């Protein structure tokens, strides 16, 4: 039986780059809320919309499992999650319901400063450190390149210096972190921004109307900012 609920539940990042802009966006839609003591759950006061504050990596799974209805998260996280599901033989579970235009960054291949870049073929047999193994794996296989993907959950940019990998595939915004580690971006796998992620199917029961209203207000708020 499908889960029925008369309140919409939106997952946002608890702390990090997307946390404040996500809260600001929801506040600009007229949402006010009360935080629980543990600050993991926010009860919506002005609208029947509750917030769950989590790590960004947990947001796709919460939506896929129906625990949350929508989430505010980077496209990079959504794409990686769905490719991971598909690698396991499951269908994709998520769709971008809106693009928010902030939190922009790229998922780039970066190599040592002093190396020359001649194209993807030179990656054959190389060790590539990344937190995005499925997105990188798809990009490599589309090019028929077999490389060794070293999956790291953080500090990817120091992996070449530590001898863990020959190069990296990581998120880049200004390129400052890469430069500080003597790396340079050479290929872009994905252009990312914050998105409203939701299921591939429409919401059911009263939540459909609540989501419609929230998204309409969001569209208005986003238009005002342009
Ligand atoms: P969490 O504790 O929630 O797991 P995190 O460390 O994974 O946090 P942040 O560094 O806060 O996440 O980044 C969140 C999102 O911000 C990224 O997934 C990406 O979409 C976006 N972003 C924008 N610019 C950058 C950047 N330069 N580096 C990393 N992420 C960026
Ligand atoms: Zn994260």
Q: What is the pLDDT of residue 68?
A: 97
Split at pLDDT 50, 70, 90, the class of 152 is: very high
Helices (H), 143-195: 159-162, 176-180
11 within ligand 1 shell (Cβ under 6 A): no
| Closest among 207, 199, 197, 203 to 7, alpha carbons compared | 207
pLDDT digits (tens, 9 = 90+) for 161-175: 999 999 999 999 999
Instruction: Give the strand pairing for 148-151 and 127-130.
Output: parallel
57 touches ligand 1 (CB under 6 Å): yes
Question: Among all ligands shown, which has an atom nearest to the Cα of 13?
Answer: 1
Is residue 38 very low, low, confident or very high in pLDDT (cuts 50, 70, 90)?
A: confident
Name the region of 52 (left: φ>0; alpha: ψ -120 to 50; beta: rest).
Answer: beta
Is residue 1 over pLDDT 60? no
**Predicted local distance difference test score (pLDDT) of residue 3:** 65
Residue 2: predicted pLDDT: 60
Residue 29 is predicted with a pLDDT of 97
Distance CA 62, CA 52 (A): 10
Q: What is the ipTM of this complex?
A: 0.98
Q: Which of 14, 20, 21, 56 to mutate to test the pocket of ligand 1 (most atoms within 8 A of CB)?
A: 56
CA 146/CA 149 separation, integer angstroms:
9
Residue 201 has a pLDDT of: 97
Q: Please return the burial class of 185, using the count of CB atoms within 10 Å of its CB with bins 0-12, 13-18 and 19+.
A: middle
130 lines ligand 1 (CB under 6 A): no
Q: 154 C-alpha vs ligand 2 centroid, how far in Å? A: 9
Res 176 pLDDT > 90: yes
Q: Going from the N-terminus, what domains does the chain have, and what CATH number goes with each?
A: 8-103+194-225 (3.40.190.10), 105-192 (3.40.190.10)
Q: How large is the average pLDDT for residues 68-88? A: 98
């Amino acid at each position: 039986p499908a889960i029925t609920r008369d309140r919409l539940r939106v997952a946002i990042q608890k702390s990090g780059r997307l946390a404040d802009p996500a809260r600001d966006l929801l506040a600009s839609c007229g949402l006010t809320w009360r935080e629980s003591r543990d600050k993991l759950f926010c009860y919506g006061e002005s609208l029947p919309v509750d917030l769950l504050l989590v790590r960004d990596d947990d947001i796709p799974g919460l939506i896929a499992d129906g625990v949350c209805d929508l989430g505010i998260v980077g496209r990079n996280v959504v794409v990686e999650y769905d490719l991971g599901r598909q690698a396991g033989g499951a269908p994709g579970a998520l769709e971008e319901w809106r693009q928010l235009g902030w939190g922009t960054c790229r998922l780039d291949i970066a190599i040592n400063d002093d190396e020359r870049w001649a194209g993807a073929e030179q990656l054959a047999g190389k060790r590539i450190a990344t937190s995005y193994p499925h997105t990188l794996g798809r990009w490599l296989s589309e090019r028929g390149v077999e490389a060794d993907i070293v999956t790291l959950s953080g500090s990817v940019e120091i992996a070449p210096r530590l001898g863990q990998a020959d190069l990296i595939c990581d998120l880049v915004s200004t390129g400052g972190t890469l430069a500080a580690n003597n790396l340079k971006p050479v290929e872009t796998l994905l252009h990312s921004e914050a998105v409203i992620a939701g299921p591939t199917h429409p919401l059911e029961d009263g939540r459909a109307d609540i989501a419609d209203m929230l998204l309409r207000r969001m569209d208005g708020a986003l238009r005002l900012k342009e």
